[in-house]
Amino acid sequence: MLDLLAQTGLNAVYAASYISLIAVGLVLIFGVMGVINFAHGELYMAGAYSVVLFYSDFELPFMIAVAAGLLFVGCLGLLMERTLFRPLKDNPLGGLVASIGFLMIMQALASMGFGVRMEHIPPVTQHVIEFSERVRLPMARLFVIIAAVVLLSALWIFLKKTRFGWALRAAAQDPEAAALQGISINQTARIAMFIGAGLAGIAGALTAPLVSVNPHMGHSVIVTAFIVIIVGGVGSLEGAVIASVVYAIVHTFVTTFFDGVIADITGLSLMLLVLIVKPTGLFGSADRA
């Protein structure tokens, strides 16, 4: 029993790691741009396909493929900012519709380029850390956990200590006041989109060898990310991280002890409950939207 708990706990830590990478990106984009990026799951998918392309097809080193994924998806974010979200700044439903359109295009491109079948990616490492007979942590999962901790810490330092980070937070809180202070809204939007998309991309790239990579893999991820950002409080980065951990623990344990569908229902019910009781989220304050 203790083994099972420990193993489930490790699974939860792994899940929390990649979920928080995705959710933090989504929150960052929402905070600065004021739009919900429905195509965020497809950015994650694009990161995974970068690894398919560069690592399994071109046989480049895995880390280079991951870096390429980060860059490529970050640039996709810049493209979305320039072509979709900036022109639709004053149209609340517009950003939503445009991001859904983008989602469909991405899925279609992935199907056309790689086929709808699941991709097989050769494992990066077979190494497994064995804590005991039944408590094991594959190295590949440990990579994801370490990467999430490093990246989120770096982001935290960037946001709290640098001028860019200060501008980003100011723009997220009050775009008009920030503009009056001489902060370029377009510049901060670009940075936020690049980072937000890049985080989704890197999450996709890192988990690519561990999950089934297919053109529709973004769907389950976006639902999870929505739950997390609502529970954490829309616009709160710290809340998103905490909620990712909470969600991952709840979901992993319910999956282990009941089944996956019940776990999904629990997650959604958790979100609905938060929306009913405290719509600003458990860790958020009332601001945008």
Partner 1 sequence: MRNFLIFLAGAAALLALPHGLSFSQQEILVFLTINILLVSSYRLLTLTGEWSLGHVVIMGVGAYASALLSKKLGVYVPVSILLGGIISALLAVVLSFPLFRMKGFYFLIGSFAAGEIIRLLWKRFRDPFGGAKGIKGIDPMPDFSIGIYDFDFFEPVSYYYLSVVVVAACLWILWRIERSPVGLTFHAVHWQDKLAEASGVNLRAYRTLAFSIASGFAGISGGLLAHYIGTINPNSFDVEVMVFVLTWAIVGGTSTFYGPILGCIVLTVLNEIVLRELGFEQMRPLIYGAIMILSILFMPKGLESVVQKIFSRRAKP
User: Which residues are near partner 1 by CB under 8 A?
Assistant: 36, 84, 87-88, 91-94, 97-98, 100-105, 107-109, 111-112, 219, 223, 226-227, 230, 234, 261-262, 264-265, 268-269, 271-272, 275-276, 279, 289
Q: Are strands 128-130 and 136-138 parallel, antiparallel or unpaired?
A: antiparallel
Retrieve residue 87's tokens. 């022109």
Nearer to partner 1, 206 or 227 (CB): 227
Write the CB contacts of 127 (distance below 8 Å, at least 6 apart in sequence): 138, 139
Nearer to partner 1, 42 or 119 (CB): 42
Residues facing 129 on adjacent strands: 137
Closer CB to partner 1, 77 or 138, in the complex: 77
Minimum Å gap between C-beta 187 and partner 1 is 22
Q: Name the strand (E) or helix (H) holding 89.
A: none
Q: 138: helix, coil or strand?
A: strand
Q: In the bound complex, what is the minimum distance in angstroms from residue 161's beta carbon to partner 1?
A: 31
Q: Please, what is the minimum distance in Å from the beta carbon of residue 38 to partner 1?
A: 9
63 is written with which tokens?
Answer: 């880390």
Report the residue number, 86 or 190, with the smaller CB distance to partner 1: 86
Taking the least distance from each CB to partner 1, the nearer of 123 and 279 is: 279
- State in angstroms the smallest separation of the CB of 32 from partner 1: 16
Task: Give one DSSP letter per residue of 221-280, joined into a string.
Answer: HHHHHHHHHHHH-TT-HHHHHHHHHHHHHHHHHHHHHS-HHHHHHHHHHHHHHHHHH-TT
Least distance CB 149 / partner 1 (angstroms)? 29
Shortest reach from residue 42's CB to partner 1, in Å: 10
Nearer to partner 1, 101 or 123 (CB): 101
Q: Which two tokens stand for residue 42?
A: 């497809």
* End-to-end CA separation in angstroms for the chain: 45
